[in-house]
Amino acid sequence: MIVTILLSIMMMAGLFLLLLGGVGYVQDKRFFSSAPKEVCDVVPNTKPERFKGQHAVGWVMIVLAFALMGGAMVLGAWNGIANGFTFWQFAARFLTMLLLLKAFDVIFFDRVLLCNAGFDFFPRFYPETRVVLGRYLFGYNKKTHIMHVICFFPSAALLSWICTMI
């Protein structure tokens, strides 16, 4: 279970790196596609680079984020195969990893970063968002979160089946 928790933390770090790279460095409105309408309305389409190579740094961060999250899944599979996991052990590992990642998304991203303007994450990069951020935004995307959680079950089952076939 400790390995599963560590791999989940690895995925959380990747997700945060993805957000930081997209919002903080690439600074393109496309990265706000899942943000509330109020936030999307005040964010400009693109922002000029604050320093030379800023957007390139952001894209490198995004690639590393995907590598980190994918690497966590591969390491989880590899460790499970090496330890002779059954289908249900793999399913429990992958489902735990995905559900902890979703909890991190809801609690940290939505509640702390988005709904708490005092935390100053988004306003640091987009000062125009300060006026629209607030606690009232929490839960704006609950249908999406519920759909993700529902999709986690067949996804974990598929990954588990693949790992038991190897």
CA distance 37 to 140: 9
Point out which residues pair with 46 in neighbouring strands.
28
Per-residue pLDDT averaged across 6-35, rounded?
89
Per-residue pLDDT averaged across 82-89, rounded?
96
pLDDT digits (tens, 9 = 90+) for 93-149: 999 999 999 999 988 887 887 777 556 777 788 888 777 877 777 777 788 889 999
Domains contained in the chain, number: 1
Query: What's the pLDDT at 23?
Result: 85
69's tokens: 């999250």
Q: How confident is the model at residue 37 (pLDDT cuts 50, 70, 90)?
A: confident
Domain hosting residue 19, numbered range: 2-165
Distance of CA 58 to the CA centre of its chain: 15
